[in-house]
Structure 1
Amino acid sequence: MSDLPLEHVHIGPDDPSDEPAPAVFVLHGRGANEEDLLPVARSLPDGLHIVSLQAPNRLQGGYTWYDLDLTGGGLHQSQPDAVDFKRSRELIIESIDAAVEAYGIDDDHIGLFGFSQGAITSLSLLLDAPDRYAWVVALHGYLPDSHSDVDPDGIADKPVLLAAGDADEIIPAARTEAAADRFETLGAAVEYTSYAGGHGIGPAEHEAVVEFVTKQVA
């Protein structure tokens, strides 16, 4: 295991070569860990490096990318704590740079796959540096206030898959849909679907993720 700023799991392509290969960086949700999304990540195309990062802050039996700011009206209107959020994004960027060097990753073909807090973070990272990422999958997340008015160059035609649960009691589907609308306004190539169910990844959603990522790395 190579030394990255964040603890992580790396799974290399099934048929490794001396040539750099594309990668997906996986960002788990609040209270989970770097193993949580591996069942989905392992079903993505075999030619990808999978680098699943662990959030830096302990939370009960798991980890979190940031504390919640609940001053806006409780969980359904929560926002990332600004200091934590900035620090985590910096650590992710440093970890991506280190992994590119350590694992022979193609620097021009990096995708982000996040769930819940990981989705919120992934969408924000894309707006921070659109040219850095080839595509983003963001499940059951939203666009935080810190990035709601960001309008960077390089978003046009960027593939972004967003998905929500119509019975999600943690992050209402309306917040995810609003993020999809914002990225559409910015000109991204957005795919958005609300699935039956709550705060989790069901079979149909899982299948949509695999289909989307397969198109991006074909």
Structure 2
Amino acid sequence: MTLHHLVREPKIILDKNPLLLLLHGYGSNEEDLFSFASELPEEYYVISARAPYDMGFGSYAWYAINFDADENKFSDIPQAQQSRDLIANFIDELFVNYPIDATNITLIGFSQGTILSYAVALSYPEKIQRVVAMSGYLNLEMVKPNFETNDFSNLKIFASHGTVDQVVPVDWARKAAPILTQLGIEVVYKEYPVGHGVAPQNFYDFMNWLQQ
């Protein structure tokens, strides 16, 4: 399979089980979000994917972040677009390898994993039903051209951010909801008084949202 991944099998076995696909942040790995796999609802397959770019020392990225002489950050857009399609293909591979319900797929992203989750969901809304977008932002350059014509009627998004996030400014995160709403996507957006991380309340809120 194209992406190295960890699997928590569902505790409640159905004919086909829904999937939570976890996408970690820049410089992290598949163990990171998988640490709360045991807390996630029992009817789901929980699969945590490792990003393709190896930064050494157990760190991986979905795309490079480069700095210019003035320390401005630039995302490597072509790499991000490749990772977007890699994730979309990986989801297809998962259907072949596990008894997963193709009509019940949730992406859970953190930081760079959120940026990719948005890009995958907007590019391939026929594959994704829900996105939990934590501590990231929407970068439309990473989405497939003419995505606006896609059918988003089955897509729902839970986005959240820390108000004192020093890695991804909260202002960047706030821009997503109006754009998504305009596309006709149902969005819940919440903020928590934390930095670049997942507050316990954030975790409970998205869990409740998932189970509605």
TM-score over 0.5 for the pair: yes
Aligned to 1:125: 120
Correspondence for 2:30 among 29, 34, 37: 34
Correspondence for 2:150 among 147, 153, 156: 153
Distance 1:80 1:212 in 2: 31
Letter in 2 for 1:56: P
Do residues 58 (structure 1) and 54 (structure 2) align? Answer: yes
Matched ranges for 1:76-155 at <5 A: 78-147=73-142, 150-155=147-152
Distance 1:123 1:79 in 2: 18
User: Is contact 2:81-2:142 (8 Å) kept?
Assistant: no
Aligned to 1:47: 43
Distance 1:152 1:213 in 2: 27
Q: Runs of 4 or more off by more than 2 Å in structure 1?
A: 39-42, 147-150
Distance 1:15 1:105 in 2: 13
Letter in 1 for 2:205: A
Using structure 2 for the length normalisation, give the TM-score. Answer: 0.91
Correspondence for 2:9 among 9, 12, 15: 12
| 5+ long unaligned stretches in structure 2 | none
Distance 1:16 1:179 in 2: 36
User: Is contact 2:80-2:142 (8 Å) kept?
Assistant: no
Correspondence for 2:167 among 146, 170, 195: 170
| 5+ long unaligned stretches in structure 1 | none
| Distance of aligned partners of 1:147 and 1:94 in 2 relative to their CA distance in 1, 3 Å threshold | closer
Letter in 2 for 1:202: A
Q: CA deviation at 1:14?
A: 0.2
Letter in 2 for 1:116: S
Using structure 1 for the length normalisation, give the TM-score. Answer: 0.89
User: Is contact 1:40-1:206 (8 Å) kept?
Assistant: no
Deviates more, 1:129-138 or 1:145-154: 145-154
Q: CA deviation at 1:214?
A: 1.5
Aligned to 1:208: 205
Q: Secondary structure at the match of 2:35?
A: helix
User: Is contact 2:18-2:102 (8 Å) kept?
Assistant: yes
Distance 1:32 1:158 in 2: 27
Distance 2:118 2:79 in 1: 16
Q: Secondary structure at the match of 1:94?
A: helix
Q: CA deviation at 1:74?
A: 5.0
- CA RMSD for the aligned pairs? 1.9
Letter in 2 for 1:31: G
Distance 1:79 1:210 in 2: 33
Q: Secondary structure at the match of 2:87?
A: helix
| Distance of aligned partners of 1:188 and 1:159 in 2 relative to their CA distance in 1, 3 Å threshold | same
Q: Secondary structure at the match of 1:63?
A: strand
Q: CA deviation at 1:60?
A: 3.8
**Percent pairwise identity:** 30
| Distance of aligned partners of 1:50 and 1:137 in 2 relative to their CA distance in 1, 3 Å threshold | same
- Residues 160-179 of structure 1: CA deviation (Å, up to 9, x unaligned): 00001100001011111101
